[in-house]
Each structure stands twice: as structure tokens, then as C-alpha cells.
Structure 1
Amino acid sequence: MKTLILVRHAKSDWPEDTDDFDRPLADRGLQDAEKMSSYLKQNNVEIEKFVSSPALRALSTCNIFNKSYQIEVETNRKLYNANENNFESVIYDLNDDVNSVAIFSHNNGISNFANMISGDIFAFPTCGVAGFQVDCESWSDFESAKKKLLFFYEPKKI
């Protein structure tokens, strides 16, 4: 059994003359990421590895979560402007020793991917987190594995 956690980056800012890739987190984003990561840790949500888009707002969110978890962080360019296939590709590349992973990415891709694997309608708010149980022993079996939504958390509701 595997656990997949999808995290949309926290609220970002868009300073003048800043490329999309280099957008920093807004003050609210910094607070929401701290709050959400603490909430997950306090509720015993186990995560063994983080994989993040290298875009500043996603990686900053990931790094804030890592203050609570202090685990391996990997960046993967496929998670920036990702479509559903990009998420699957990142998942297939995971080592089977990893039983729980959190993936940090962006909308619309993260919402579309969550919708695809769950059949539910997701609209991820910034710093929204969805956890799925994946009934497989190997990440390579992800596509055909049964998936079950375990939780969906929004910063404003915790």
C-alpha cells in the first residue's frame, strides 16, 4: 500500500517584472504553509519524500513543509505547468522503498490530476492538500491501482 499526497503551492505574490517561474510566496502563503505543514505533522500524516516543482512558489512551500518533516526533497521540472501525464511520469520514477510521497505543484494541473485519479471534483485552493491511498506495492502499478481519497484539507478550514 502506498500513500500519495498532492499539495498545491501556497498563495503567491506577483511582483512587477517577475517571471511566473520566479514568483515568491505572499505573506498569507507563508502563514498557510506553516499552518498546513504543522497540521499534517500533528495529525500523524506520514511522508517519506517530497517532490516539488522547481518554481519558487512551489519549492518555497515544500521547504516550509520540510521544517516540520526534515526529509528528502527532490525537484522535478515535469511538475511545472504539469498535465496529468507529467504527474504519472513523476510517480512512476519513484523508488518502491518510498511508501508515502508528497508532490508539490500548480493549478490547473494538480486539480485535473486529482480529478482524474479520484473521480471527484477538486478545486484546489492555494496550499490545499489531498491524500490518497494507492493499492499497490510498486509505483509502476499506479495507473491500474485502486485509489481512495483519505483526506482533503484547505488552509481556511483547519
Structure 2
Amino acid sequence: MKRIYILRHAKAQKEIKTDDFSRKLSKRGKNELKALFESLQKYEIKWDKIYASSAIRTKKTAQIMAKYYGYDKKDICLIDAFYEADEMGLFAFLKHLDEDIENVLLIGHNPALLKLCELLSSLCLHSFPTSSMLCLECENFKNLKEHSAKLVFFEHIKPLKEN
């Protein structure tokens, strides 16, 4: 079985002086990623490949997660098209992944990620907050169909902060 890990980037700074693409992670965002990582310790997670939007906040989120999991940050694939991608573009991207990949992490932006999760599974999500990760399982990428993936877990940052 293949696993698709979907992570929304961490909270970014609310700087008016810079464009959206260039916004950096906030201190809160970095702290939430640490809380997410600690919560994810109950799962066995190892990625064969990490793909992320090339936006600054998403790139930094990928680098932090790579560090936590011992993944070489030089192997992170930054994809410009992920910045403005919709769920169908991400779906098509997944269908073209090399079948040698067993576990893939996608890091991107809403609303595309929320809609992708709903497209791939039978979920109806009310939100997909920053620093939250959803994991789905499927038979393979090439024959991936709408609503065919099974939920493995959804670590939602809101409940993590309440503990």
C-alpha cells in the first residue's frame, strides 16, 4: 500500500511589507510544527520523497520536517506550480508519481489541500489548519481514483494546542 501524507505549511508571519509568496514562518508556526512532530511520534513515518510548494513558508516547513525525520533537505523537491495549484492539479501530480515511491509527503496551501483530501477520500472536512497533517493510503498512484483512498490519520493542530 502507498501512503500519501498531506501537510499544510506552518503559520506564516503577517507582514504587510512583503508579498504572500515571500512570507516567512512565524514563531508560533515553528512551535506548532514541533507540537505536530511530537504528536506524530505514535506513527511510523518515513518518506521516500518530499514535494513542497516553493513559497518561503512552505519551503521552511519542509526543511523543518525533513530535519525532524532525518530526511536530507537537499532531496526536497520544490515545485513552483504547487503555490497556485488546485486539487485537480495535485491529483494529476500524484497519479504520475514513480511507483517506486511508497510514502510521499506533499506540503502546500489551502484551499487546494483540503479539497484534495476530500477528492481522494470520503472525508468531508470543515477545515485544514496550518501545521496539520493528514495521511491516506491507496493501492497505487497510477490508478488512483477519486474517493478511493482510506484515512490512516488526521493530526489536526487545534486539538494538539488544547492539550
- Normalization by structure 2: what TM-score? 0.87
Q: Deviations over 1:6-53 (max 9, x none)?
A: 100111112122011001111110111122234324532232211000
Of 129, 139, 161, the residue aligned with 1:125 is 129
1:151 equivalenced with 2:153 (yes/no): yes
1:89 equivalenced with 2:102 (yes/no): no
Is 2:122–2:147's contact at 8 Å kept on the other side of the alignment?
no
Counterpart in the other structure of 2:48: 48
CA–CA separation in structure 2 for the residues paired with 1:59 and 1:34: 16
Q: Quickly say closer, same or farther: Cα 1:126–1:144, change in 2 above 3 A.
A: closer
Q: Quickly say closer, same or farther: Cα 1:145–1:14, change in 2 above 3 A.
A: closer
In the TM superposition, what are the counterparts of 1:9-158 in structure 2 within 5 Å?
Answer: 9-41=9-41, 43-71=43-71, 72-122=75-125, 123-136=127-140, 139-143=141-145, 146-158=148-160
Which contiguous aligned blocks of 4+ residues in structure 1 show a shift greater than 6 angstroms?
A: none
Q: Secondary structure at the match of 1:121?
A: coil
Is 1:41–1:69's contact at 8 Å kept on the other side of the alignment?
no
Shift of 1:155: 2.2
Q: Secondary structure at the match of 2:76?
A: strand
Long gaps (5+) in structure 1? none
Partner amino acid for 1:9? H
Long gaps (5+) in structure 2? none
Shift of 1:70: 2.8
Residues matched between the structures, number: 156
Quote the sequence identity (%): 26
CA–CA separation in structure 1 for the residues paired with 2:44 and 2:159: 18
Q: Secondary structure at the match of 1:141?
A: coil
